Amino acid sequence: MITVSNIIEQIISDTPFLEEYIAKGFINISSLARDLQPEIQKKLGKPIKEAAITMSINRLKISTSQLHSKKVKSILKEITDVSVRSSLADYTFKNSANLRVCILKLMIEIEHNHEIFFTLSQGIYESTIIINKNLSKKVNQIFKNENCLHLEDNITAINIKLPEINTEIKGIYYMIFRHFANNNINIKDVVSTSNELTILIDSKDSEKAFSTINKIKN
C-alpha cells in the first residue's frame, strides 16, 4: 500500500537538490507541503491534510538525493582547466538563405589564425557568432546584407573543461549557473560541447565570475 512518505520520497528522488535545500532550511516546509498537496492527493486517491504532509517531510532522512548532490560537488572539485578570453563581440543574425555562405566566408578568412576565439550556434530562426572584437570590421563587411538582430561588443568568455563523467551526472550545469546567479552575474550566452562549457558574460563581471568558479571548485 502506497503511503504519503512513499510519494514524498519519490517526488524528492525526481528532484535531486530538493532534499539538500530542505536540510539547509532554504525551503519553507509548510509552503512546500501546500504545493505538493494536490499531487499527493491525486496519487493517494483520497484527501490528505497539509499537516500530515509537513510531518512526513520533516521526518525525511538523508537519501540518494543528498548523495547525488555530494557526487556533483565532488566532480566540480575535479575542474582543473579554466580559461578567460576577453574583448569579444557577440552577433546574432536572422537565419537566411545566404547566411551560411557568409559564415563559410568568415571561417575561411580566420581558419589559419589559431589565436582567434570563434564559436557558432545555429538555431531554427537565428544564429549567433562570438568572435574577437578586433575582427568586427571584417564581420560587418561579410555580413553587411544580413539582418543583425543583436550585437554586444564587450563580452568575456569563461571556458571550463569538465571531467568526462559530467555527461552522466544530473545537475552539473545547474550548480554552476546557480552560483553565478547567487553572485549577481548575468549570463549572456552559453556554448557547450560534451566536456567543455563556455559561459559568456559582461566583461565588467569577469573578475567576479573567475572568483565564483574558484569557489565552486573549492
Closest CA to 135 of 178, 180, 90, 172: 90
Each residue's pLDDT tens digit, 74-98:
778 777 788 899 999 999 999 999 9
The pLDDT of residue 64: 47
Each residue's pLDDT tens digit, 45-56:
888 889 988 888
Residue 180 carries which side chain, given as an amino acid letter?
F
Each residue's pLDDT tens digit, 16-50:
667 767 777 778 888 988 998 998 888 888 888 89
Q: Identify the structural domains of the chain with CATH numbers, from first to last.
A: 4-70 (no CATH), 81-217 (3.30.2130.10)
pTM as predicted: 0.70
Q: At what angle do helices 64-76 and 4-13 cross, to 10 degrees?
A: 10
Pick left, alpha or beta for residue 56 (phi over 0 → left; psi -120 to 50 → alpha; otherwise beta): alpha
